[in-house]
Amino acid sequence: MTILEDAEILLVEDNPNDVELTLRALQKNNLASKVYVVKDGAEALDFIFATGPFAHRKVENLPKVILLDLKLPKVDGIEVLKRVKNDDRTKHTPVVMLTSSQEQRDVLETYSLGVNSYIVKPVEFGNFVRAVSELGVYWGLLNKLPY
Amino acid sequence: MTDPEAVDILLVEDNPNDAELTQRALKKANLEARLTIARDGAEALDYLLSDRPKPKVIFLDLKLPKIDGIEVLRRARGDQRTRSIPIVVLTSSHEERDISECYKLGVNSYVVKPVEFDKFYKAVADLATYWLVLNKSLL
């Protein structure tokens, strides 16, 4: 029996509109049911490391990919990225920044912390849906994991 | 403004058929991708550590003459100049050991080459679209 929190895609996103659009886009390739959504960095860390309200999870049930916004309440995306990439249990999980920031400084910092990929959220709706759909297919189906 | 000297993809592939198919797949997908091919690991490292333009992404086979893909990955990740270039291992190996080792060394992504011709074409097109169009690189 699958526990809901054993998701293939962890979406870390505080904007409910972006959440809605992302889920719709992933649904085009039947991936929406495999997504778990958390709305801030603290919740993301609790989920990934199976602490707090997610203590019943097992850390080793890793998602196939973490889609991570940069600007998040409580704990920001950079901090979540750092924690994931610095822990032996989670560092091989692909992390894809999915953010509106195009700042070179943000791109640079995330690459130096070992982010797998950096995607700038398209502003235009159609492009956003297309981008997320491609993201889902790439990390959900094409990319091969060590676990 | 596009730099005419810029390189989009460094393809590290010793098999001429696979290299040919990759080039054709990119053309077919209408991706104006500027491709440089290295036929073995030594050539790949020479290229990467020279003054020549850094690629936006490296598609790296594992089984290569002279210096193998794992070693190329290790050295590319160990050098400041190439540490942040996205590297996608594109190989026929689905050995647990190879996949594990690549992730340990910091590969961005690992893709197993489809055996079927049509699927290979599609995978290459998807890969190139993802890493050249969708992904934001440092370049």
pLDDT tens digits along B121-136: 999 999 999 999 999 9
Which of A108, A119, A144 has its CB closest to that of B110?
A: A144
User: Alpha-carbon distance B26 to B38, whole Å?
Assistant: 17
User: Alpha-carbon distance A127 to B137, whole Å?
Assistant: 19
Interchain CB distance below 8 Å, B126 and A145: no
Q: Does the interface ipTM go beyond 0.90? A: yes
Report which of A84, A139, A92 is spatially closest to residue B107, judged by C-alpha positions: A92
User: pLDDT tens, B67-102?
Assistant: 999 999 999 999 999 999 999 999 999 999 999 999
Interchain CB distance below 8 Å, B109 and A143: yes
Q: What is the pLDDT of residue B4?
A: 66
User: Alpha-carbon distance B63 to B6, whole Å?
Assistant: 27
Total length of chain B = 139
Interchain CB distance below 8 Å, A142 and B134: no
Spell out which residues of chain B touch residue A92, defining contact as CB-CB under 8 Å: 103-104
Q: What is the pLDDT of residue B29?
A: 81
pTM: 0.94
Q: What is the pLDDT of residue B3?
A: 65
Dihedrals phi, psi of A24, to nearest 5 degrees: -65, -40
Interchain CB distance below 8 Å, A119 and B94: no
Contact B102, B111 (CB under 8 A): no
User: Alpha-carbon distance A46 to A91, whole Å?
Assistant: 16
Residue A2 has pLDDT above 60, yes or no: no
Interchain CB distance below 8 Å, A117 and B84: no
Read off the pLDDT of each residue in A82-100 and give the average, rounded to a whole number: 97
- Mean pLDDT rounded to a whole number for chain A: 94
Which of A119, A131, A146 has its CB closest to that of B99?
A: A146
Which of B108, B113, B127, B129 to substitute to test the interface with A, most A CBs within 10 Å? B108
Residue that the structure tokens 């989920």 belong to: A47
Q: What is the pLDDT of residue A67?
A: 97
Count the Cβ atoms, other than its own, within 10 Å of residue B75. Answer: 17
Report which of A124, A121, A43, A123 is spatially closest to residue A77, judged by C-alpha positions: A43
The Cα of B14 is separated from the nearest Cα of chain A by a number of Å equal to: 22
- Dihedral (Cα; A37, A78, A91, A122), 10-degree rounding: 60
Nearest CA in chain B to A142: B111
On the 0-12 / 13-18 / 19+ scale of CB atoms within 10 A, A1 is exposed
Read off the pLDDT of each residue in A46-50 and give the average, rounded to a whole number: 97
Interchain CB distance below 8 Å, A146 and B96: yes
Q: How many CB pairs under 8 A join A and B?
A: 60
Spell out which residues of chain B touch residue A111, defining contact as CB-CB under 8 Å: 84, 138
Q: What percent of chain A has pLDDT over 70?
A: 97
CA B138 to chain CA centroid, nearest Å: 16
Read off the pLDDT of each residue in A102-121 and give the average, rounded to a whole number: 96
Interchain CB distance below 8 Å, A119 and B136: yes
User: pLDDT tens, B13-35?
Assistant: 999 999 999 999 888 888 878 99
The Cα of B60 is separated from the nearest Cα of chain A by a number of Å equal to: 14
Q: What is the pLDDT of residue A97?
A: 98
Count the Cβ atoms, other than its own, within 10 Å of residue A56. Answer: 8
Read off the pLDDT of each residue in A96-117 and give the average, rounded to a whole number: 96
Q: What is the pLDDT of residue A1?
A: 41
Read off the pLDDT of each residue in A80-102 and give the average, rounded to a whole number: 97
Q: What is the pLDDT of residue B43?
A: 98
